[in-house]
């Protein structure tokens, strides 16, 4: 796996590209407070056939924070800029949580560029204005650390947290080490982002996936998104929280593999 950096929209974006360069392109976009490593177990299998791109959105991982005010369009333009940098014109995007909104914004802006969507534990509109403001103010006052345990309960199922405590602690560290500027900026983007009208216009094969124990985007929220998107399919993963790529990467990989084959995306 090659770790690289690209100058994008006034900052630097850290990314990885792996798999056959002549294979169909699949891009993975991360959730709030995570970096590209959350996809490792999925990429390890799919990179046998796909040209895989993972990246850290601005303010996360090893990417720069940048100076521009954050919104979903900025995050989408960062991904579009990365695709331009890599010369990739037809892609499948798999987006998790805010990554799913980024994927929806990319297809709204450049529909010709996206061949298919996999939307994991996300929606066209996430949370409400007051809820995001409360989170922003808490972090401004006491840092991300103050919300670490509560966010783990939203990210990971009770069973995972009990049986895999060391891994839970590791992902908590990933969260709390995210820059406050990048985390708050992305909270603002989520607070103000609303792609419900755009979702109804999506015209590519779309798979919507949710963990049954997801407290951040509960199954009914993801199921509602699937009903908005023409001909979208919905899959529920039992006993899993907000991050199926971490809890059940084998099952998520099988769902993605079946979806791409059924829709002639490979």
CA 225 – CA 209 distance, rounded (Å):
10
> What is the number of other CB atoms lying within 10 angstroms of the CB of residue 162?
10
Q: Shortest CA distance to 208 belongs to which of 228, 224, 194, 222?
A: 222
Task: Check: CB of residue 30 under 8 Å from CB of residue 96.
Answer: yes
- What are the residue ranges spanned by the domains of the chain? 2-262
Q: Which residues pair with 52 in a beta bridge?
A: 18, 26
The SS3 assignment for 77 reads helix
Per-residue pLDDT in tens (0 to 9) along the chain, 266 residues: 557 999 999 999 999 999 999 999 999 999 999 999 999 999 999 999 999 999 999 999 999 999 989 999 999 999 999 999 999 999 999 999 999 999 999 999 999 999 999 999 999 999 999 999 999 999 999 999 999 999 999 999 999 999 999 999 999 999 999 999 999 999 999 999 999 999 999 999 999 999 999 999 999 999 999 999 999 999 999 999 999 999 999 999 999 999 999 999 99
CA 185 – CA 72 distance, rounded (Å):
10
Element (DSSP H or E) covering residue 15: strand 11-18
CA 62 – CA 257 distance, rounded (Å):
29
Establish how many alpha carbons lie within 13 A of residue 62's alpha carbon, considering only the half-sphere containing its beta carbon: 12
CATH H-level superfamily of 2-262: Alpha/Beta hydrolase fold, catalytic domain (3.40.50.1820)
Give the predicted TM-score (pTM) of the model: 0.97
């Amino acid at each position: 796996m090659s770790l690289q950096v690209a100058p994008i929209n006034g900052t630097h974006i850290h990314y990885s590209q792996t798999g056959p360069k002549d294979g169909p392109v699949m891009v993975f976009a991360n959730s709030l407070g995570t970096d590209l490593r959350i996809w490792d177990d999925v990429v390890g299998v799919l990179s046998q056939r796909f040209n895989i791109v993972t990246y850290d959105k601005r303010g996360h991982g090893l990417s720069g924070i940048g100076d521009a005010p954050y919104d979903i369009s900025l995050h989408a333009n960062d991904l579009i800029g990365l695709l331009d940098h890599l010369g990739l014109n037809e892609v499948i995007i798999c987006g998790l949580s805010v990554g799913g909104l980024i994927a929806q914004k990319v297809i709204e802006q450049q529909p010709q560029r996206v061949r298919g969507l996999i939307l994991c534990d996300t929606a066209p509109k996430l949370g409400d204005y007051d809820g995001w403001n409360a989170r922003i103010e808490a972090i401004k006052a006491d840092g991300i650390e103050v919300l670490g345990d509560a966010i783990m309960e939203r990210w990971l199922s009770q069973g995972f947290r009990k049986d895999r405590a060391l891994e839970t602690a590791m992902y908590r560290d990933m969260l709390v080490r995210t820059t406050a500027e990048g985390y708050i900026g992305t909270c603002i983007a989520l607070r103000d982002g609303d792609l419900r009208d755009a979702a109804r216009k999506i015209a590519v094969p779309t798979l919507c996936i949710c963990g049954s124990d997801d407290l951040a985007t509960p199954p009914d929220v993801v199921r509602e998104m699937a009903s908005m998107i023409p001909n979208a399919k919905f899959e529920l993963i039992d006993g899993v929280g907000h991050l199926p790529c971490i809890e059940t990467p084998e099952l998520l990989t099988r769902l993605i593999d079946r979806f791409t084959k059924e829709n002639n995306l490979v």
